[in-house]
Chain A
Amino acid sequence: MNPFSSGTRLRDMIRAIRACKTAAEERAVVRKECAAIRAAINENDQDYRHRNLAKLMFIHMLGYPTHFGQMECLKLIASSGFPEKRIGYLGLMLLLDERQEVLMLVTNSLKQDLNHSNQYIVGLALCALGNICSAEMARDLAPEVERLLQFRDPNIRKKAALCSIRIIKKVPELAENFINPAAALLKEKHHGVLITGVQLCTDLCKVSEDALEYFRKKCTEGLVKTLKDVVNSPYAPEYDIAGITDPFLHIRLLKLLRELGQGDADASECMNDMLAQVATKTESNKNAGNAILYECVETIMSIEDNGGLRVLAINILGRFLSNRDNNIRYVALNMLMKAITVDAQAVQRHRATILECVKDSDASIRKRALELVYVLVNEGNVKPLTKELIDYLEVSDEEFKGDLTAKICSIVAKFSPEKIWYIDQMLKVLSEAGNFVKDEVWHAVIVVISNASDLHGYTVRALYRALQLSAEQESLVRVAIWCIGEYGDLLVNNVGMLNVEDPITVTESDAVDVIEIAIKHHTSDLTTKAMAMVALLKLSSRFPSCSERIKDIVVQYKGSLVLELQQRSIEMNSIIAKHQNIRSTLVERMPVLDEATFIGKRAGSIQATVSPSAGASINLPNGVAKPTAAPLVDLLDLGSDDVPAPSSSGGDLLHDLLGVDLSTASTQSGVNHAPKNGTDVLLDLLSIGSPTQSSQSVSDMLSSSQDNKTPVSPLEGLSSPSSNSIQPTSAGAAPTIDLLDGFSSNPPKQENNGTAYPSVVAFESSNLKMVFNFSKLPGNPQTTVIEATFTNLSTNIYSDFIFQAAVPKFLQLHLDPASGNTLPASGNGSITQTLRVTNSQHGKKSLVMRIRIAYKMNNKDVLEEGQISNFPRGL
């Protein structure tokens, strides 16, 4: 060693780093070395450049930044000697990746080296190019590589072949240049060239249809012969692995044959015999042999049908499945997944074994097996399979429970033969792993329960029992409190007992206990607590005897730091305390939730919420909103809670419930209607904890009818002194009460059932009144002719009077021209206009309409808007 040389040798540096006792010591050593290397770089030191780069590579592996050494690689590559180039290229591959700009600088050196007289230097350049080249470099250097495919030394040809793979992957349009030289490689005898050539052809087939056709026509027979030769070749020590000559070549040939045989009967026919030979003759006692068998099975499954071969393949998989080696079992499960599309019956035979694999101690095997079981389930075997899976759920690892519950829920939902079975299974899952259940799942459970009206009593009792045992499973708690809130009376009175049930004695106060525990439990989150709050409100009406106690519980949250809870608490408290007369109407049982709509929505919303994980938790409270939303909607007589979902968007249930054409609503939701008056507060009540668009659009719909602070006719009775003025939300409770007062004193007109449809005051403000007269065209019950009469209630003349209307999609609206555009003052005349509405859902849904009236009063623009939902039934 040169006594005057600066720095330490590589070996010494590694020793020094290894001797470090702490991370801080190591950092100090590395810092010192890096400083020395930087200094050497600055001095442009020639003699130790390669040693410094080697040190940098080691430092890089330890995870320290080494970008300052990148240019050193380029300098070493540009120098003339083999040793410098060797380490330079190694550094290039290790310290850089294809996305770095620096890499472009090396293109020229690479080009020179690819044409170098020393073939080993050519080899180094090919290696670097194949490992890190970018698309641009691939374009620039492709001709060089193409030429090297015919180089005299096989070691260069094989490197060029693999390099070509990288090039055609980066720049697929170059593929056609490589088809002919690649085909030539298939005739080689040198194994290295042969396996790389076969690999190149396989990748060419994947990027180019032409290549596939070419190889299929010209090379299939040759490849089968090559495979035959290698299968039958005598012992060759150089390539022998566990008694098999070159299993790597076997596997690559089988892979290429798979590409060629797929979708082509002739090519498949050509290789059948050889595949049969490989499948029967290959020794399966060593890993190498099994690797070949595995590849062979996959090829048999992929090429065109040959019954005999497939039986052979399935049998091999069966043998694999019963193997004691975990690796072999894993690949068997993997392959059975593919086999199931080919021969489901054969895979079903192994069901018991596969089910055992779900319970394996190895996570990889479990995961594979679970996927497989999932596709194996059908109507016939769903019950026993689900039972097995649920039983296993009890003992499975925590980290596996998420996957497992998702799959079980999906199976149960897809194949459940009857509702009671579905409910039973879901209750088991919720009790066992409720914390792992996704929100859609428990939402779906509630929808199903809601639809199974004969099982309400059974379900609520079962949930009550389950809750006694597994109160820590959040989603079980939620479903249970929802059901107790809805069907609490069935719980207490044992209504609708099924034969299979044990009788159970629950008092009213027991039911309230359960909810009180849930709302007070420290692990309950906002959603659960809010749901519990709603359930309490419902129970306060169902169980009058507990009303006082419930009030006490609710009152405790008046001081909650969570705004939602605080607000709900205050609102509900005033409902309980001051509005006995309407409370029972307000908390009526939910109407049956529409399953089809829910499924449709969910399909939509799953797509919508895939990317941000936050979506789920924010959407949650929609479930909470449900209980109160519907009765209130009924009160308002929007009368369309069964409108099918607008299929375009994945909204949420609340939209369904309101069912009003949201597209019209959203046209006006551009303006954010800040809480102006009581309506918004009321709407907040509907949307506990959901700052989502649903509450926004709902509030738009309703509050827009009061934009000019004048109540419209359905809400006419509300006209308390305060509702004409702007109310800040902080005084929220008061207007709510006023609104509710209005409802109780002036129930909406629902009883107009006669065939001669009565006139309706569709809209009335302090300035304007609009009356609708209805008539039907004979022979066309779907169409209603509405004659609208507008009367001016003010003392000013209205000019430029325009009436506009919008309807949901299931309706069609035609507006005739109005009788005039000037409206005389003080009711001294009127404007009439005829509307024709065609109801495509006649008999199922009532009419609903939004209106907007614009006019000029004293040369000032006035705009009045409203929603008309008090149409007579049956239009």
Chain B
Amino acid sequence: MIHFVILVSRQGKVRLTKWFSPYTQKERSKVMRELSGIILNRGPKLCNFVEWRGFKVVYKRYASLYFCMCVDQNDNELETLEIIHHYVEILDRYFGSVCELDLIFNFHKAYYILDELLLAGELQESSKRTVGRMIATHDRFVEVAKEEASSIGTFIAQVRM
């Protein structure tokens, strides 16, 4: 199972964290510091796996962002790499050639997409299109709610907060 997902920039800034196993807030920041130290310092030609505290962290760099997933010792690392790529492709479709700034200003969107892809630390959907459709439906609900709200005359700033 995937214990957590971390997106971290080359400068060590955390862009997204998702925890499927219980970690206290203190442990979380310790884990992030520790892992970004290890992963950002690894050379470009090395393998994408790091053994860490009895787990394996599978990471892959896309442009300036490192996508890291922590899995069990017995999990299939190659498949985890494929899951990371799967997520990146879905982000890419949704944002239209995604970049780090998209993920900063629309971080909640990145979370919503991840929630459609992973649940309880396991892969939920292998079709990119299905995930895209789900997110689109959700977004439409929000739009409708916003229009209703504005038509009544009260301003409710919705997802474009």
Q: Give the interface of A toward B (CB within 8 A).
A: 1-2, 5, 9-11, 14, 18, 47-48, 50-51, 54-55, 57-58, 61-63, 65, 81-83, 86-87, 90, 93-94, 97-99, 120, 123, 126-127, 130-131, 155, 158-159, 162-163, 165-166, 191-192, 195-196, 199, 238-239, 241, 246-249, 251, 287-288, 290-291, 294-295, 298, 326-331, 334, 361-365, 367
Contact = CB atoms under 8 A, between A and B. Distances in A.
A327 B81 contact: yes
A246 B126 contact: yes
A159 B111 contact: no
Contacts of B111: 90, 94
A840 B157 CA distance: 90
A87 B138 CA distance: 11
Contact of A11 (B16, B20, B105, B128): B105
Nearest to B78: A291
A475 to B, nearest CB: 27
Interface of B: 14-20, 22-25, 29, 43, 45-51, 76-79, 81-83, 86, 104-105, 107-108, 111-112, 115, 119-120, 122-130, 134, 137-138, 141-142, 145-146, 154-161
Nearest to B159: A83
Contact of A51 (B107, B142, B161): B161
Contacts of B124: 158-159, 162, 192, 196
7 contacts: A1-B157, A86-B112, A162-B124, A294-B78, A329-B47, A331-B78, A361-B46
Sort A-B residue pairs by CB-CB distance and give the 9 closest, nearest first: A291-B78, A326-B47, A51-B161, A10-B161, A130-B120, A2-B155, A162-B119, A362-B46, A166-B120
Contacts of A330: 47, 49, 77
Contact of B126 (A48, A57, A192, A365): A192
A367 B38 CA distance: 15
Contacts of A326: 45-48
A641 to B, nearest CB: 43
Give the interface centre of A14, A51, A57, A83 by most chain B CB atoms within 10 Å: A83
A48 B161 CA distance: 9
B84 to A, nearest CB: 11
B119 A192 contact: no
Nearest to A18: B104
Nearest to B156: A47
A364 B51 contact: yes
Contacts of A57: 107-108
Contacts of B134: 123, 155
A326 B42 CA distance: 13
B78 A238 contact: no
Interface of B is mostly: mixed
Given A130-B119, A365-B47, 14 more contacts: A57-B107, A86-B112, A93-B115, A94-B17, A120-B141, A127-B115, A192-B127, A196-B123, A239-B126, A291-B79, A331-B77, A361-B46, A364-B46, A364-B50
Contacts of A126: 119
Contacts of A93: 18, 115
Contacts of B24: 97, 99
A334 to B, nearest CB: 8
Contacts of B146: 83
B130 A155 contact: yes
Contacts of B112: 86, 90
B157 A288 contact: no
Contacts of B160: 9, 11
A149 B82 CA distance: 27
B22 to A, nearest CB: 5
B157 A362 contact: no
Contacts of A98: 22
Contacts of A9: 157, 160-161
Contacts of B137: 120
Contact of B154 (A47, A99, A238): A47
A50 B160 CA distance: 11
A48 B157 contact: yes
B79 A248 contact: yes
A239 B127 contact: yes
Contact of B81 (A199, A239, A287): A287
B124 to A, nearest CB: 6
A3 to B, nearest CB: 9
A359 to B, nearest CB: 14
A74 B151 CA distance: 27
A50 to B, nearest CB: 7
A295 B79 contact: yes
Given A86-B142, A291-B78, A367 B51 contact: yes
Contact of B145 (A81, A97, A294, A367): A81
A153 to B, nearest CB: 11
Contacts of A51: 157, 161
A648 B112 CA distance: 58
